């Protein structure tokens, strides 16, 4: 059976915030019919979750007030919000005598840069004891770039339970192409072969995990694809914890890393993915009640497990590096946290490469 074929100048593979913001950037200087974003009908991005008839943004994703991205036209017509109020619980039950960090490990990096403090405690809770031996180089890069940077990092809160990014992408109305599965990508012919169609492109921007992209392209890879997962427990309550407050839990014996009040009556508690199946909602509920003594009528609502939340190691494999060069030379641009396999937030991505798509994106990828 012959498949339908469609040609576009710009094809976006992946359907998360990074892809949708990239779509917005391209739409500023290109016709809508020249841009197509592929959307898998069998999976859904975690933009919102529903509870008792209301939608909430489940993942702690916030614009940064000082960032160029927040100052762009993407956020021009969406609601304004005050910064998140951040606090830390006291550092407790953290036995320093048990910490033995290898020379090039993440723990050694943090001790050298920040000393032995609450950040090391939170790191061990988030990344597990592997950080005592392994470099987790992407996390090191994130800490140096994000937390040690002199640039502003004022994170803006939710509005009515939703991230400002959700409001931003809701206004886009992108040109979508639905499919069920990807069969392969023909790098030389510049074609994405889907189960129901063939998309021919001049430039392909991919935010799907880098190893998946290279697999579809039939190219070799040898980089470390290790990633950290995240577990979220959600709770309802009547009062006592106003919206847009974040508390980092610095008790080493508690599995919770942080809690965030999505609304005045709905909160999330984040745990490392290794806690899945080991830490019950009831245990987390008791800890939340300790962190927020004034909270009233706290009840567990639901949970969410995100298997791929944080890339851990820098792409360094020779075969993967060669394959990346091949895709770039053939007008394929890996982009975003998972597309580039780098631990970056949305405001930290190289959006100039999208803004200058008419010149930078095209010319840089010609052989």
Report mean pLDDT in 10-residue bins for the chain, 367 residues: 91 97 95 96 87 94 96 96 98 83 93 85 93 94 74 92 97 96 98 97 97 98 96 98 98 97 98 96 98 98 96 95 97 96 93 68 41
Predicted pLDDT at 44: 75
Quick check: 149 and 66 in contact, CB under 8 A? no
In this structure, how many other beta carbons lie within 10 angstroms of the beta carbon of residue 87? 9
Predicted pLDDT at 45: 75
Q: What is the 3-state secondary structure (H, E, C) of 156-208?
A: ECCECCECHHHHHHHCCCCCEEEECCEEEEECCCCEEEECCEEEEEEEEEECC
Query: DSSP letters of 246-285?
Result: EEE--BTT--EEEEEEEETTEEEEEEEGGGTTTS-HHHHH
Question: Across the chain, which distance is largest between two alpha carbons, in Å?
Answer: 67
Q: Which residues contact 210 (CB under 8 A, 6 or more apart)?
A: 221, 223, 315, 320, 324, 334, 338, 339, 340, 341
Q: What is the pTM of this model?
A: 0.92
pLDDT digits over 253-297, tens only? 999 999 999 999 999 999 999 999 999 999 999 999 999 999 999
Task: For the chain, list the domains and their CATH numbers.
Answer: 4-63+164-224+316-363 (3.50.50.60), 85-154+227-311 (3.90.660)
Task: Give rounded-to-5 percent helix, strand, coil for the chain.
Answer: 30, 30, 40
Predicted pLDDT at 364: 41
Predicted pLDDT at 363: 44
Predicted pLDDT at 113: 84
Cα 81 to Cα 215: distance, rounded to the nearest angstrom: 41
Number of residues that this document lists for the chain = 367
Predicted pLDDT at 181: 96
Cα 185 to Cα 329: distance, rounded to the nearest angstrom: 15
């Amino acid at each position: 059976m012959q498949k339908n074929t469609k040609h576009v100048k710009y094809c976006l593979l992946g359907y998360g915030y990074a892809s949708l913001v990239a779509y917005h950037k391209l739409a500023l200087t290109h016709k809508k019919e020249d841009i197509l974003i592929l959307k898998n009908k069998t999976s859904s991005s975690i933009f919102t979750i529903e509870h008792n008839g209301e939608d909430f943004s489940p993942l702690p994703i916030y614009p940064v007030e000082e960032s160029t991205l927040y100052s762009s036209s993407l956020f021009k017509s969406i609601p304004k919000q005050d910064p998140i109020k951040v606090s830390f619980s006291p550092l407790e039950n953290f036995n320093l005598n048990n910490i033995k960090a290898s020379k090039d490990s993440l723990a050694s990096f943090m001790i050298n840069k920040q000393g032995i403090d609450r950040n090391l405690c939170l790191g061990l809770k988030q990344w597990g004891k592997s950080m005592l031996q392994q470099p987790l180089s992407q996390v090191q890069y994130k800490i140096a770039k994000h937390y040690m940077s002199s640039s502003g990092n004022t994170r803006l809160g939710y509005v009515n339970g939703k991230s400002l990014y959700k409001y931003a992408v809701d206004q886009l109305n992108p040109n979508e192409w639905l499919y069920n599965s990807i069969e392969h990508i023909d790098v030389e012919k510049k074609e994405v072969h889907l189960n129901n169609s063939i998309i021919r492109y001049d430039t392909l921007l991919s935010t799907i995990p880098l190893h998946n992209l290279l697999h579809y392209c039939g190219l070799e890879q040898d980089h470390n694809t290790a990633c950290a997962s995240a577990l979220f427990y959600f709770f309802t309550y009547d009062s006592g914890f106003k919206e847009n407050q974040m508390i980092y839990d610095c008790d080493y014996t508690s599995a919770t890393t942080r809690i965030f009040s999505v609304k005045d009556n709905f909160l999330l508690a984040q745990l490392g993915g290794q806690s899945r199946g080991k830490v019950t909602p009831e245990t987390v509920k008791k800890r939340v009640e300790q962190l927020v003594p004034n909270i009233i009528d706290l009840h567990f609502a639901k949970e969410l497990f995100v298997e791929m939340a944080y890339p851990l190691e820098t792409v360094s494999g020779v075969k993967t590096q060669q394959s990346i060069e091949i895709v770039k030379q053939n007008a394929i641009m890996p982009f975003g946290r998972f597309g580039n396999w780098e631990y970056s937030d949305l405001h930290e991505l190289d959006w100039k490469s999208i803004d200058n798509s008419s010149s930078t994106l095209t010319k840089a990828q010609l052989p």
